[in-house]
Amino acid sequence: MGTMRARRLALAIAAPVLAIAFAVLVTSVVLFAAGNNPIDAFSTMLSQLGRPRIQVNTLNNATTYYLSAIAVAIGFKMNLFNIGVDGQYRLAALFAAFVGGKVDLPAPLHVALILVVAMVVGAMWAGVAAVLKNRRGVSEVISTIMLNYVATGIIAYLLTEGRFGVLAEGSNNIGTPPIGPSGQVPGLSFLNNLPFLKDATSAVYGMFVVAIAVGVGYWWMLNRTRFGFDLRASGLSTTAATASGIDAKRMVLYVMLLSGAVAGLIGLPQLLGESHAYNLDFPAGLGFTGIAIALLGRNSPIGIVFGALLWAFLDVSRQILDLEGVSKEIVTIMQGIAVLSVVIAYEVVRRYGIRQQQREVGRQLGTDEPVLAEAGA
């Protein structure tokens, strides 16, 4: 039993390691072809790891990326492809920022209201795709992509003067009314007392704690609740899940609502920790980043942690490479290759694992040939 567990762990680690190694190899070839020294480029990136400012920025970006990836992973676990996370979090952040800027409540209640509004709006927008799938059989991929465009139009309509928007003083940037101090989440400044963050000029987002809670909750739901079991069972085989009494349509609705609720939190680290308003330059595209990180982390709460940290570090290193004369687009190339290769690597490792299991069964039956090999041919 111990050997089997060790083998499974090794196979689980092998896929992302192989994918990242392949991405580094291909990126090195591209760098060399462009006339840059790959060793110098990667050395420059790695040399930033010890800088407190880089570490804080990496943790802050990873907080947002982690929430985005968890929102995507919840759907992926049931083979639901919630491509609409991008529209869900932007629409949720807009409404949360508007409500947060209009009310004046004691600090805990003010923050709680903003969180609830964001989660409800995100869940409702994701729920539209669930209803379309259950009632009309519309693929969630198509509906959520279209809903992204609809969300963009709604945001453009509402973020104007006379509706949700106000013109910032001394600027042409239109945004929601600023959220007061009682609705802001202060940074975790006490972490700056740690030796490796001592000289940091900024603090880790306070929403970092919420991201940890979401990750723990995601793990608990998957492994310790009946709902998590039904979700995983539905993802493995809808037919078998239905035969065992699981209501597939209800699960689609619940999973999309939960995914949308988590998506509603994605923009809050930036909103409550830095900008305190939703404006024209509010970060976009984080939902698609979450898809890539969820694939990289194989929908695992722990795997997504490493995927989010890696992705965040690469994004932060982008500017450093530009200063060193290396095109910052090389980071985008590396990220894209990593995601593409990790999908291929997981499939290769999966097939290898099945082959090894067949050989193990064959040995137990007294033959050296893999059992079921002919059936799979």
pLDDT at 3: 66
Burial of 137 (0-12, 13-18, 19+ CB in 10 A): exposed
Q: What backbone torsions phi and psi does residue 106 show, to the nearest 5 degrees? A: -55, 150
* pLDDT tier, 201 (very low <50, low <70, confident <90, very high otherwise): confident
Instruction: Judge whether 376 lies within some domain.
Output: no
- Domain span at residue 118 reads 37-325
Closest C-alpha to 86, from 289, 295, 244, 310: 289
Residue partners of 6: CB distance under 8 A and separation at least 6: none
- Provide the pLDDT for residue 346: 78
Inform me whether the pLDDT recorded for 327 exceeds 90. Answer: no
For the cut 80, the answer to whether the pLDDT of residue 281 exceeds it is yes
Distances from the Cα of 216 to the Cαs of 224, 300, 302, 354, in angstroms? Answer: 11, 11, 10, 30
Domain count, the chain: 1
The whole-number pLDDT of residue 366 equals: 67
Which pair of structure tokens corresponds to residue 21? 């190694």
Residue range 181-204: mean pLDDT, rounded = 89
124 is a domain residue: yes
Residue type at 162 in one-letter notation: G
Decide if 251 contacts 234 (C-beta within 8 A).
yes
Average pLDDT in the 272-278 region? 96
Distance CA(184)–CA(204), nearest Å, equals 14
Per-residue pLDDT, 10: 73
State percent of the chain over pLDDT 90.
Answer: 58
Domain-embedded: residue 368: no
Which has more pLDDT, 341 or 5?
Answer: 341
Residue 375 clears pLDDT 70, i.e. is over it: no
Residue 68 included in any domain: yes
- Which residue is it, tokens 């194989």? 298
Residue 334, C-beta contacts closer than 8 angstroms, at least 6 positions apart: 23, 24, 27, 314
Residue 91 lies in a domain: yes
Instruction: Dump pLDDT digits (tens) for 234-250.
Output: 888 888 888 888 998 99
Tell me what the mean pLDDT of segment 289-304 comes to. Answer: 92
Question: Other C-beta atoms within 10 Å of 151: how many?
Answer: 21
Return the pLDDT at 326.
Answer: 78
CATH number assigned to the domain comprising residue 195: 1.10.3470
What per-residue string of b and e applies to 72-102 under the rule 16 or more CB within 10 Å gives b? bbbbbbbebbbbbbbbbbbbbbbbbbbbbbe
Q: Does residue 289 fall inside a structural domain?
A: yes
Confidence of residue 184 (pLDDT cuts 50, 70, 90): very high
Q: What is the mean pLDDT of residues 273-301?
A: 93
Q: Is residue 136 part of a domain?
A: yes
Whether 342 is covered by a domain: the verdict is: no
Q: Which of the two residues, 157 and 371, has the higher pLDDT score?
A: 157
Inter-residue long-range contacts of 225-229, CB under 8 Å, 24+ positions, other chains counted:
227/254
Q: Where are the beta strands (DSSP E) in the chain?
A: 166-167, 174-175
Where does residue 285 fall: left (phi above 0), alpha (psi -120 to 50 degrees), or beta otherwise?
left
Contact residues for 182 (Cβ-Cβ < 8 A; gap 6+): 104, 105, 106, 107, 110, 111
* Total count of residues recorded for the chain: 377
Answer whether residue 377 shows pLDDT above 50. Answer: no
C-alpha pair distances (Å), 32 with each of 36, 44, 298, 320, 332: 5, 15, 31, 19, 16
